[in-house]
């Protein structure tokens, strides 16, 4: 018989690393959430009951819950008892969102039309409108000079049912905005922003949207009330007119837990 034991100075096969109790419980609790034992919107049992259910100490149960809060599966806002978070996405409907027909029928902005269509109440705050030199990346998208040209920068915070869902920073070439409400007022009138662009000879005909994701800054976390562990979606939107010219860029920062993206794209031959 051959001796299969390791020779001196050698080691045998490694045993799987044993999970520490908080990670083991976090895995089990995550499975229970995904399997529907705890449903979206349901408050978790007390810390004592969780500890008994998963056979751990109470402080271990608290640490396991913190792991899932950091992952965005559990919400613990306002120090209330942790609640299972569920999908509550406000879908951004791509090209349909900027439909000229929809705007002419409703007389409202794309955001308001989209939110109302999904049974929610929209609100938009515009705390600042300023004239600035464009950032280099914005200037490039608009075909402007970052050193010589000016843009109007409009800051908008968007709410659905009084919950903050996204921030939008819109940049408009000064030659388009000058002498209009685009440069001075939060009230855009009938047809909203794109109605005023059309008044200036720029009817939206196409859009370009560049999409990425990241974790929010402290300022974004505070302003958008982003729960722990939840990322944001960055959408750099460029409006393109009937002459194939860009006429506005809006940089959206969207809560990933409250927003989804839905696009239908025509494929070129």
pLDDT tens digits for range 64-87: 998 888 777 888 865 668 888 876
> What are the tokens at 51?
């500890």
Q: Is the predicted pLDDT of residue 267 greater than 80, yes or no? A: no
- CATH no., domain 21-84: 1.10.10.10
According to CATH, where is 3.40.1410.10 located in the chain?
Answer: 90-261
Closest CA to 171 of 201, 148, 144, 198: 144
Residue 58 φ/ψ, nearest 5 degrees: -65, -40
Closest CA to 265 of 148, 137, 95, 111: 95
pLDDT tens column, 203-217: 999 999 999 999 999
pLDDT computed for residue 13 by the predictor = 44
According to CATH, where is 1.10.10.10 located in the chain?
Answer: 21-84
Per DSSP, 23 falls in state: H
H-helix or E-strand containing 213? strand 204-214
The mean pLDDT of 34-42, rounded to a whole number, is: 88
> What are the tokens at 95?
């090209």
Q: Is the predicted pLDDT of residue 169 greater than 90, yes or no? A: yes
Residues 237, 250 contacting (CB under 8 angstroms): yes
The mean pLDDT of 26-42, rounded to a whole number, is: 90
Q: Which CATH architecture has domain 90-261?
A: 3-Layer(aba) Sandwich (3.40)
| pLDDT band, residue 115 (cuts 50/70/90) | confident
| pLDDT band, residue 95 (cuts 50/70/90) | low
For every residue of 104-117, DSSP letters joined together read: HHH-S-HHHHHHHH
Phi-psi region of 35 (alpha: psi -120 to 50; beta: other; left: phi over 0): alpha
pTM for the structure as a whole: 0.74
| pLDDT band, residue 149 (cuts 50/70/90) | very high
pLDDT computed for residue 150 by the predictor = 98
d(CA 158, CA 155): 10
pLDDT computed for residue 17 by the predictor = 52
pLDDT computed for residue 265 by the predictor = 75
């Amino acid at each position: 018989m051959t001796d299969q034991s390791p020779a001196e100075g050698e080691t045998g096969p490694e045993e799987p690393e044993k999970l520490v109790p908080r990670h083991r419980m976090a895995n089990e609790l995550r499975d229970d959430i995904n399997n529907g034992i705890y449903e979206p919107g349901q408050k978790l049992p007390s810390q004592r009951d969780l500890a008994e259910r998963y056979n751990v100490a109470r402080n271990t149960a608290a640490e396991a819950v913190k792991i899932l809060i950091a992952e965005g599966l559990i919400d613990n806002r306002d120090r209330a008892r942790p609640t299972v978070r569920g999908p509550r996405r406000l879908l951004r409907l791509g090209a349909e969102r900027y439909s000229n027909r929809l705007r002419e029928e409703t007389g409202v902005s794309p955001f308001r039309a989209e939110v109302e269509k999904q049974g929610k109440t929209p609100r938009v705050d515009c705390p600042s409108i300023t004239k600035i030199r464009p950032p280099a990346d914005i200037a490039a998208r608009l075909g402007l000079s970052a050193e010589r040209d000016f843009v109007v920068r409009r800051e908008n915070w968007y709410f659905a049912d009084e919950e903050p869902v996204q921030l939008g920073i819109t940049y408009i070439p000064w030659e388009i905005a000058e002498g209009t409400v685009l440069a001075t007022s939060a009230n855009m009138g009938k047809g909203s922003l794109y109605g005023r662009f059309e008044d200036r000879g720029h009817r939206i005909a196409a859009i370009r949207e560049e999409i990425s994701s990241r974790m929010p800054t402290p300022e974004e976390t505070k302003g958008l009330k982003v729960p722990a562990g939840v990322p944001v979606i960055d959408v750099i939107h460029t409006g393109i007119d009937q002459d194939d010219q860009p006429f506005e860029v809006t940089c959206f920062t969207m809560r990933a837990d409250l927003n989804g993206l839905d696009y239908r794209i025509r494929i070129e031959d």
